[in-house]
Chains A and B, each alone.
Chain A
Amino acid sequence: MRLRERELDPEVRRRLTAVDASLAGEPVDPELADLAAFATELRDDAPPVDPRFAAELDALVAEGFPTAQPDFGGPVKPPSNRARTRFASLHRRPLLPILAGATTIVIVAGVVAATQFHAGTGDFESGDSLLRKQLSEEPAPPGTADVTESLRRLDAKRGSDKAIVEASATSDAAARVNRPHTAKDRRFEQQAASLTLSADPAQVQDVSGEVRDVAERYDGFVQDSAVSVNGDRARASFSLLVPAANLQAAILDLSDLANVTASDFNTDDVTGSYATAGKRLSAARAEVQKLLRKLEDASSVSEAASLRQQLQIARGELASARGGLRDVKQSVNYAPISLTITGSGDGDGWSIGDAAKDAVDVLEAVGGAILIALAVLVPVGLVGGVIWLAGTRLVRRRRESVLDQD
């Protein structure tokens, strides 16, 4: 922070004002007449310009300082002076803003490309590829079917060699998961998926038929469905249940029916529930066995009647435990798929909505790129500014050092 500067002493100010007045030919306080006279004497002793030099300099200015200069008879001009002057004017041109602008454009372009480009595969992100990625990251449940085959079918249809490589990798992952589990490390997972497809309204009916085919192909079934077509708008919704082992393959086939606009996968570990249900069943069985043995050894009619009554309750508990375990097993073995097909005229085409979404995506990417560019350029600019300031002061100090040599 700059300290507030002291005011000039009033007497000093009065004397300096008198000097200025005398130089301007204005009247001066008689008390300061000596000072005024001294000032004009100094002014009149200023070194006059030689008319010859003045004429030559006038000519140079009139010609706009051509390259060759006349010799003024003074000391030899340093030969590098002109080059230095030109260099100085060159490096003072607005190169910095141009470089900063170019750097920003490069960074923005890089970030936009990185955002849009799927790193490592050279494949631009699409609904299908995102889905494929999601599926490959999903841990396969025990007994996963041959997902590779489904992926191969999808990729053969799309003609993507890279995807086949990816499918092979997924196959390896599935093979690892399919290895026999020991009783201790076996986990039970409940899976569920929801999928939203977008199709042309006229095709919604056909796509709905294909959904049933896919469910049957993977040993699943349609629990309920609803299809409505109203002019240029159509909508269909399905609740499917497919074997958990076939879930990924079924989803891939379903996603092939139309454009995927949304997808969601949930996996819940129900190993705890499974174990609890198993223990409950074992306990119920043991209780029934115990009561049966007691019934065999009953010594009186009344005791036998009482045991029969307890046995009836225990058998009810056994049935309930058996049902609980069956429910858990079914939730593990079968996965529900909630499928929605929307047909609002923007299925395969590129609509205003898509354009707006793309525009928002691009703006987000550009905004992020600008933020990154600023994060780089601002510190660089600050450091550059400090260096420039220090350099300027150093040059000035070195120049002025000659004034202190007297």
Chain B
Amino acid sequence: MMKHPFVRSPGMSSVAAMVPTPTQPAEVTSTGDLVFEELYRESRDDVFAYVAGLLRDRSAAEEVTAQAFERAYRKRGQFRRARGSGRAWLFGIARNAALDELRRRSKLAPMPEAEQGSADPDPGEVAVRLCALRDAIATLNARERELVALKFFAGLSNAEIAQVIGVSETNAGSKLHRTIEKLRRHANEAA
């Protein structure tokens, strides 16, 4: 089940209830320290979805996700609230790990074909639509695919995306809009 931050699962909502104060971000205590466990619970599925969307390889995504959380765990003392949200910080670490993996794989062997979500697509209209969507995603370049993964798979806000990829929020919004339009166009053509 997809656990999008905008629509939390029951399990996640119980974690959200542990937030110290209503105005405080979930991953930060009143003193500004990072509460790693809460950040992990809120972001585990999102990080995996983003990494898997970028790498298009579930096994590699699992490895990279684990690496990213371990790095974040080791560096949790370096987190500074003033530099951005805990999620943006975490996704920055995950992005570096994913890009390192992509670079390593590009030197070793050709990228594997994009994995399909299910082996036997349903014959119904939804399944056809899903296939068209995946085909359309496959036509995107890596930068565009990353934007889709950050926005729709990981559920980051435009400001957080801007922080993760190192551009301004306006720039991130423009890029995202162009990517969505391109994706819609390809999806409609494929359908």
A residues neighboring B (CB under 8 Å): 5-8, 12-13, 15-16, 19-20, 23-25, 35, 38-39, 41-50, 53-54, 57-58, 60-61, 64-65, 69, 72-75, 77-78, 81, 85-86, 88-89, 92, 396, 399-406
B70 within 8 A of A: yes
B interface SS class: helix
Could you say which residues of chain A place their CB within 8 Å of the CB of B40? Answer: 61
The 6 closest A-B pairs by CB, nearest first: A74-B63, A74-B59, A47-B52, A46-B153, A42-B152, A403-B142
Known contacts A35-B184, A43-B153; decide if A74 and B106 are in contact (CB<8 Å): no
Known: A5-B170, A61-B37. 11 other contacts (CB 8 A): A8-B173, A43-B153, A43-B155, A46-B2, A46-B49, A47-B53, A47-B153, A57-B44, A74-B63, A75-B101, A396-B166
Within 8 Å by CB of A65, from B70, B101, B158, B170, lies: B70
Is B37 in contact with A43, judged by CB distance below 8 angstroms? Answer: no
Could you say which residues of chain A place their CB within 8 Å of the CB of B171? Answer: 5
Is A48 in contact with B129, judged by CB distance below 8 angstroms? Answer: no
Is A45 in contact with B117, judged by CB distance below 8 angstroms? Answer: yes
CA distance A38 to B40 in the complex (A): 29
Is A25 in contact with B141, judged by CB distance below 8 angstroms? Answer: no
Is A13 in contact with B173, judged by CB distance below 8 angstroms? Answer: yes
Is B74 in contact with A399, judged by CB distance below 8 angstroms? Answer: no
Listed A/B pairs (10) with beta-carbon separation below 8 Å: A16-B177, A20-B157, A42-B153, A42-B183, A45-B134, A48-B45, A53-B48, A74-B59, A399-B99, A401-B103
Could you say which residues of chain B place their CB within 8 Å of the CB of A92? Answer: 75, 78
User: B14 → chain A, closest Cβ, in Å?
Assistant: 14
Kindly report which residue of chain B lies nearest to residue A22, judged by CB atoms: B6
Is B66 in contact with A57, judged by CB distance below 8 angstroms? Answer: yes
The number of A-B residue pairs with CB atoms under 8 Å apart is 164
Known contacts A46-B4, A403-B99, A406-B142; decide if A89 and B75 are in contact (CB<8 Å): yes
Is B66 in contact with A60, judged by CB distance below 8 angstroms? Answer: yes
Known contacts A35-B184, A89-B75, A403-B146; decide if A75 and B67 are in contact (CB<8 Å): no
B105 within 8 A of A: yes
User: A68 → chain B, closest Cβ, in Å?
Assistant: 12
CA distance A243 to B67 in the complex (A): 92
Kindly report which residue of chain A lies nearest to residue B56, judged by CB atoms: A47
B176 within 8 A of A: yes
Is B117 in contact with A57, judged by CB distance below 8 angstroms? Answer: no
Within 8 Å by CB of B184, from A38, A44, A53, lies: A38
B163 within 8 A of A: no
CA distance A13 to B117 in the complex (A): 32
Could you say which residues of chain A place their CB within 8 Å of the CB of B148? Answer: 42
CA distance A399 to B142 in the complex (A): 13
B60 within 8 A of A: yes
Could you say which residues of chain B place their CB within 8 Å of the CB of A16? Answer: 158, 173, 176-177
User: A69 → chain B, closest Cβ, in Å?
Assistant: 7
User: A244 → chain B, closest Cβ, in Å?
Assistant: 75
Is A24 in contact with B6, judged by CB distance below 8 angstroms? Answer: yes
B81 within 8 A of A: no
Could you say which residues of chain B place their CB within 8 Å of the CB of A50? Answer: 58, 62
B143 within 8 A of A: yes
Could you say which residues of chain A place their CB within 8 Å of the CB of B158? Answer: 16, 20
Within 8 Å by CB of B106, from A81, A89, A405, lies: A405
Is A73 in contact with B117, judged by CB distance below 8 angstroms? Answer: no
CA distance A24 to B157 in the complex (A): 11
B1 within 8 A of A: yes
Known contacts A12-B177, A85-B70, A92-B78; decide if A402 and B44 are in contact (CB<8 Å): no
CA distance A81 to B71 in the complex (A): 10
CA distance A53 to B176 in the complex (A): 30
CA distance A86 to B48 in the complex (A): 23
B21 within 8 A of A: no
Is B59 in contact with A12, judged by CB distance below 8 angstroms? Answer: no
B19 within 8 A of A: no
B180 within 8 A of A: yes
Residues 153-189 of chain B, each 1 if its beta carbon lies under 8 Å from chain A, else 0:
1010110000000101011011011001001100100
Known contacts A16-B158, A41-B129; decide if A89 and B177 are in contact (CB<8 Å): no
* Interface of chain B residues 19 through 66 with chain A (CB within 8 A): 36-37, 40, 44-45, 48-49, 52-53, 57-66
Is B53 in contact with A73, judged by CB distance below 8 angstroms? Answer: no
Is A5 in contact with B63, judged by CB distance below 8 angstroms? Answer: no
Indicate the member of B7, B37, B58 with the most A CB atoms within 10 Å: B58
Is A12 in contact with B103, judged by CB distance below 8 angstroms? Answer: no
CA distance A58 to B153 in the complex (A): 20
Is A25 in contact with B44, judged by CB distance below 8 angstroms? Answer: no
Is A75 in contact with B63, judged by CB distance below 8 angstroms? Answer: yes
Is A41 in contact with B61, judged by CB distance below 8 angstroms? Answer: no
B12 within 8 A of A: no
Could you say which residues of chain B place their CB within 8 Å of the CB of A46? Answer: 2, 4, 49, 53, 152-153
Could you say which residues of chain B place their CB within 8 Å of the CB of A402? Answer: 99, 102-103, 106, 142
Kindly report which residue of chain B lies nearest to residue A57, judged by CB atoms: B66
Is A72 in contact with B142, judged by CB distance below 8 angstroms? Answer: no
B16 within 8 A of A: no
CA distance A46 to B149 in the complex (A): 8
B100 within 8 A of A: yes
Kindly report which residue of chain A lies nearest to residue B146, judged by CB atoms: A403
Is A72 in contact with B73, judged by CB distance below 8 angstroms? Answer: no
